[in-house]
A and B are shown apart, each in its own frame.
Chain A
């Protein structure tokens, strides 16, 4: 049995934040119906790649990215801009528990659907919107994607070396995290509904979600008057030194290779010193205590890197870890899928067959439930794959009605 098999989700998720939310729900068995229209195709289908056989090799079924983020879901073609679609959506609402969307504010409302109109059809419906700025407030009409959310919230600012440009995040971290937070909101609202019987409208703002992750800096500013600041790869809180990323011997095709090393305690430092062979510099007075090491970190970093540079990153990691020193390769995806023995042990990249693309690895589901495990049961849905089945079997529509909807352009 799947733990969320009694939950049906109407999913207007597109690009990534919405799909990440409903991927989590679908992995645990929720019946996620992805509502898609050619009028507004998911960016995940059309522009986010890679498309291993070309952008249009299989129409809207060409994207590996889409497959990865939409496994276990169903695809229903429904053009919400078409007046005839409204009745279909009303019928779906009546048999659903949750509506999730990550459009900018106002899109669903333009189609006539707000929490109030949804509630009129399904009184205990749970509606989670997740626009960047949220649906209320002076910036409610602002449009964002991951990098905008990260820039505005302060996450970008906090990533980089002092005095350099912000390095930021090299991907849409807040699309992942926005998705996690929306899934949490759905599950909390389901818990609430079970206990008390009512639904909820959750106005999730991805910018607010990002700001919550910077709370310590916000308190430090208020209490100590200290502006937030990027720390490079150093760590003041908790204090640690060395705490950095160090160059190693280049591997495959001259790619730069790096290892992360962190010593939070004197024990770890002593184990580090023993592993590097106790050269003279390690007994320098500047490095005698954690705080003095922290205050001389730039010098320390150079010396540590002299030791790592002629070595393979994996060798550095193994030698240090064997001595109990926190160390880890800056892994790329070849490392993650081919060399990381722990991820292999945990089965984190299962191979899944897609009827058009073929067999490829996917991100595994990292939450392991002992009694009712989730997981990947099926590839991402083909374009409109479940339209007819849902209308016929779930909503009980007769063939003539489906034909009429098709003729009206509601199902494309």
Chain B
């Protein structure tokens, strides 16, 4: 393996909140030099918990740590003339700017795409906005819950009992979805830069991206004007389908499905005999009989799974070639032999704040030139090195600090 990384040499300036910090992180972990531009008080995501020892502090946010690995941080106040000048200088020396400013707000102070591309025609600028730069909802207030609702995603998530509200899956997935599209748009524009000889503006709206991340709900409507119905722990579908998650002996859930494969069925019956539930399963005949008596089979599954551990269902099912799984918690992977064998987690030191911590590595294993994570930056940690590389002296930096520019 080489110490070179895929995006070595790529310079990115990021002025982003939770909508696109994930995009900057994905680029930074793969070698891009991502300079995170923060207001002097810090990006607001430093205030999102959980915090180390539950002590709220901009340098203790685990949310910020996860979403900002491998970046450098500079501070800069865009409401000051000197701050705007520094922003323009940073963008002039960059390949990419990723930003989530309120639509029009950068242009209003003369530092939006028009100004930046004039100074640096090769610049790719990717703007991530909640709803798009203009249009009837452009000024709507946002948030992950609102985006997930408006996209149609939440309409598919929840329980068989429709008196229970539909559910927003945990974590800020609308921002993950938008960030993935922001990275793709950025890299496509960089690819095109070599052909057309200039950069361009990439417009990504969270609402657009999430609204085409709904799988079957879209095509059932497009082609047959049918709604999908949310169902507990499985796909939303125009009809109600058979339950596929069952509570196991260890208190966790496991996935298990009906099968027409007699070899698999025979194995399930063997497990049932081992668990003392043979009689319950011996009553069923061939696949035709089993599918005709679907609810009885599911009741039998329920009894069987209750006598087994969720991980056992998963591994034994897989040995039969079935796509069964266990409903794990994310932290279950920390000491998992598969993750360990693949070197998935990477350890990052947090001197003086926390012990060494395992972070999930990049979501794609480049086998010859893998990504490498580094600790998220402290606020303004790289002011001196970044601004002195622009040619400013320590005395000038002191002045910038005194006038509140950085």
Q: How far is the CA of A232 from the CA of B184 in the complex (A)?
A: 31
Interface membership of B387, Cβ < 8 A: no
Asked if B187 and A16 make an inter-chain contact with CB atoms under 8 angstroms apart, the answer reads no
Q: How far is the CA of A166 from the CA of B200 in the complex (A)?
A: 43
Interface membership of A187, Cβ < 8 A: yes
Question: 10 pairs across A/B with beta carbons < 8 Å?
Answer: A68-B218, A172-B235, A173-B213, A176-B177, A184-B180, A216-B50, A219-B65, A227-B329, A258-B165, A262-B146
Given B7, B214, B224, which contacts A52 in the complex, CB threshold below 8 Å? B224
Interface membership of B97, Cβ < 8 A: no
Interface membership of B205, Cβ < 8 A: yes
Q: How far is the CA of A177 from the CA of B176 in the complex (A)?
A: 9
Asked if B188 and A3 make an inter-chain contact with CB atoms under 8 angstroms apart, the answer reads yes
Given B9, B131, B363, which contacts A181 in the complex, CB threshold below 8 Å? B363
**Cβ contacts under 8 Å, A165 to chain B:** 159, 232-233, 245, 247, 253
Asked if A232 and B323 make an inter-chain contact with CB atoms under 8 angstroms apart, the answer reads no
Interface membership of B189, Cβ < 8 A: yes
Asked if A208 and B363 make an inter-chain contact with CB atoms under 8 angstroms apart, the answer reads yes
**Cβ contacts under 8 Å, B166 to chain A:** 245, 258, 330
Interface membership of A41, Cβ < 8 A: no
Interface membership of B377, Cβ < 8 A: no
Asked if A345 and B135 make an inter-chain contact with CB atoms under 8 angstroms apart, the answer reads yes
Known: A134-B342, A181-B364. 8 other contacts (CB 8 A): A154-B330, A168-B232, A168-B245, A205-B342, A208-B344, A260-B146, A330-B154, A342-B207
Given A148, A160, A187, which contacts B324 in the complex, CB threshold below 8 Å? A148
* Chain A minimum-CB-distance residue to B203: A368
Given A3, A177, A227, A332, which contacts B152 in the complex, CB threshold below 8 Å? A332
Which chain A residues in 108-155 approach chain B with CB under 8 Å?
115, 128, 133-134, 136-139, 141-145, 147-149, 151-155
Asked if A331 and B149 make an inter-chain contact with CB atoms under 8 angstroms apart, the answer reads yes
Interface membership of A369, Cβ < 8 A: yes
Which chain A residues in 208-235 approach chain B with CB under 8 Å?
208-209, 211-224, 226-228, 230-233, 235
Asked if A372 and B212 make an inter-chain contact with CB atoms under 8 angstroms apart, the answer reads no
Interface membership of A366, Cβ < 8 A: yes
Asked if B187 and A326 make an inter-chain contact with CB atoms under 8 angstroms apart, the answer reads no
Asked if B338 and A170 make an inter-chain contact with CB atoms under 8 angstroms apart, the answer reads no
**Cβ contacts under 8 Å, A28 to chain B:** 188
Asked if B167 and A160 make an inter-chain contact with CB atoms under 8 angstroms apart, the answer reads yes
Which chain A residues in 356-401 approach chain B with CB under 8 Å?
357, 360-364, 366-372, 374
Asked if A348 and B208 make an inter-chain contact with CB atoms under 8 angstroms apart, the answer reads yes
Asked if A188 and B7 make an inter-chain contact with CB atoms under 8 angstroms apart, the answer reads yes
Chain A min CB distance to B148 (Å): 8
Which chain A residues in 50-95 approach chain B with CB under 8 Å?
50, 52, 64-65, 68
Chain B min CB distance to A230 (Å): 6
Interface size classification for chain B:
35 or more
* Chain B minimum-CB-distance residue to A115: B367
Asked if A157 and B216 make an inter-chain contact with CB atoms under 8 angstroms apart, the answer reads no
Interface membership of A189, Cβ < 8 A: yes
**Cβ contacts under 8 Å, A372 to chain B:** 188-189, 192, 196, 200
Asked if A223 and B354 make an inter-chain contact with CB atoms under 8 angstroms apart, the answer reads yes
Asked if B168 and A218 make an inter-chain contact with CB atoms under 8 angstroms apart, the answer reads no
Interface membership of B138, Cβ < 8 A: yes
Which chain A residues in 179-223 approach chain B with CB under 8 Å?
180-185, 187-192, 194-196, 198, 200-205, 208-209, 211-223
Which chain B residues in 84-140 approach chain A with CB under 8 Å?
131-132, 134-138, 140
**Cβ contacts under 8 Å, A181 to chain B:** 180, 363-364
Interface membership of B399, Cβ < 8 A: no
**Cβ contacts under 8 Å, A335 to chain B:** 152
Asked if A50 and B223 make an inter-chain contact with CB atoms under 8 angstroms apart, the answer reads yes
Interface membership of B228, Cβ < 8 A: yes
* Chain B minimum-CB-distance residue to A198: B368
Asked if A215 and B66 make an inter-chain contact with CB atoms under 8 angstroms apart, the answer reads yes
Chain A min CB distance to B382 (Å): 22
Chain B residues within 8 Å of A, Cβ to Cβ: 4, 6-10, 26, 30, 47-50, 52-54, 62-63, 65-67, 131-132, 134-138, 140-143, 145-159, 162-171, 173, 176-177, 180-181, 183-185, 187-192, 194-196, 198, 200-205, 207-209, 211-228, 230-236, 244-245, 247, 253, 255, 314, 318, 321-334, 337-339, 341-342, 344, 354-355, 357-369
Asked if A151 and B255 make an inter-chain contact with CB atoms under 8 angstroms apart, the answer reads yes
**Cβ contacts under 8 Å, B165 to chain A:** 233, 244-247, 258
A-B interface, 3 closest residue pairs, ranked by CB to CB distance from nearest = A170-B156, A333-B221, A154-B330
With A151-B328, A171-B235 as given contacts, are A216 and B149 in contact (CB-CB < 8 Å)? Answer: no
Q: How far is the CA of A173 from the CA of B147 in the complex (A)?
A: 15
Q: How far is the CA of A302 from the CA of B330 in the complex (A)?
A: 31
With A218-B334, A333-B152, A371-B200 as given contacts, are A158 and B167 in contact (CB-CB < 8 Å)? Answer: no
Q: How far is the CA of A65 from the CA of B218 in the complex (A)?
A: 9
Asked if A139 and B48 make an inter-chain contact with CB atoms under 8 angstroms apart, the answer reads no
**Cβ contacts under 8 Å, A137 to chain B:** 337-339, 341-342
Interface membership of A268, Cβ < 8 A: yes
What sequence of 0s and 1s flags, for each residue 249-278 of chain A, a beta carbon within 8 Å of any chain B beta carbon? 000000110111010100010000000000
Given B150, B326, B337, which contacts A340 in the complex, CB threshold below 8 Å? B150
With A175-B215, A366-B208 as given contacts, are A151 and B325 in contact (CB-CB < 8 Å)? Answer: yes
**Cβ contacts under 8 Å, A136 to chain B:** 341-342, 365
Asked if A161 and B6 make an inter-chain contact with CB atoms under 8 angstroms apart, the answer reads no
**Cβ contacts under 8 Å, B194 to chain A:** 194
Q: How far is the CA of A138 from the CA of B135 in the complex (A)?
A: 51
* Chain B minimum-CB-distance residue to A66: B219
* Chain A minimum-CB-distance residue to B243: A165
**Cβ contacts under 8 Å, A188 to chain B:** 6-7, 30, 187, 364, 366
Chain A min CB distance to B209 (Å): 5
Q: How far is the CA of A211 from the CA of B169 in the complex (A)?
A: 14
Q: How far is the CA of A75 from the CA of B334 in the complex (A)?
A: 42
Given B52, B54, B215, B342, which contacts A208 in the complex, CB threshold below 8 Å? B342
